[in-house]
C-alpha cells in the first residue's frame, strides 16, 4: 500500500476573513485563479505549474472548482474528500499549508453553495483533540486502523 498522506485539512487554520469569504462566495467571474482567497501570484504559478502536465491544466478559479468536484468519490465523507483536495494542493502543487488551508475552505464553501452537502465545517469538529494518527485514520482510511505509519488494515488486522 502507498504511504499515508500526511497533509490534514483543519478549517480552524484557514486565514480567510469573513468579509473576504463573503466577497468570494458572491463572485461571479472566476476566470483568474487569484480571485480565490489564498491565491496570490506565487500560488497561482504553483497551481498552473503543478498541473501543466495534466490533460486539463488548472489555469482559472473555474478549473480549481472543477477539480474539487472531480476529486469527490461516491460514498466518500466530507472529511475524506476535502483532505484529498487539500493534500493535492500541498503535495502536487507545492502550495504552503497555510495558503492551502485557505484555498481549500474557499473552494469547498463555494462548491457547497452550488451542491449542498459537499462541505460543512461541522464535519471537522473534534479533530483538534485527535492525535496525528487518529486524524489520518479519520481523513483517509474510514473503518480502517493504522497499525504502523503508512500501513492501513481493515479493522486493525
Positive or negative CA dihedral for 96, 132, 70, 18?
negative
d(CA 116, CA 44): 27
Contacts with 60 (C-beta within 8 Å, 6 or more apart), sequence order: 30, 31, 32, 33
Residue 147, pLDDT score:
38
| pTM for this predicted structure | 0.79
d(CA 76, CA 91): 21
Residue ranges of the domains in the chain? 11-128
pLDDT in tens, the chain (157 residues): 344 446 788 888 888 888 999 999 999 999 999 999 999 999 999 999 988 877 788 999 999 999 999 989 998 889 889 999 999 999 999 999 999 999 999 999 999 999 999 998 888 877 666 666 666 666 555 443 333 334 443 433 3
Q: Does domain 11-128 have CATH number 1.10.150.40?
A: yes
Amino acid at each position: 500500500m502507498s504511504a499515508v498522506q500526511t497533509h490534514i485539512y483543519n478549517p480552524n487554520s484557514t486565514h480567510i476573513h469573513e468579509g473576504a469569504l463573503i466577497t468570494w462566495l458572491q463572485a461571479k467571474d472566476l476566470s483568474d485563479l487569484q480571485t480565490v482567497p489564498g491565491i496570490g501570484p506565487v500560488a497561482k504559478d504553483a497551481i498552473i505549474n503543478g498541473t501543466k502536465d495534466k490533460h486539463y491544466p488548472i489555469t482559472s478559479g473555474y478549473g480549481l472548482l472543477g477539480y474539487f468536484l472531480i476529486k469527490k468519490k461516491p460514498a466518500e465523507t466530507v472529511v475524506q474528500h476535502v483532505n484529498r483536495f487539500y493534500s493535492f494542493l500541498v503535495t502536487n502543487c507545492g502550495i504552503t499549508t497555510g495558503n492551502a488551508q485557505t484555498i481549500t475552505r474557499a473552494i469547498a464553501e463555494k462548491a457547497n453553495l452550488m451542491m449542498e452537502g459537499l462541505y460543512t465545517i461541522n464535519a471537522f469538529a473534534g479533530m483538534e483533540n485527535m492525535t496525528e494518527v487518529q486524524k489520518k485514520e479519520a481523513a483517509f482510511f474510514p473503518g480502517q486502523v493504522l497499525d504502523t505509519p503508512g500501513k492501513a488494515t481493515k479493522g486493525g488486522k
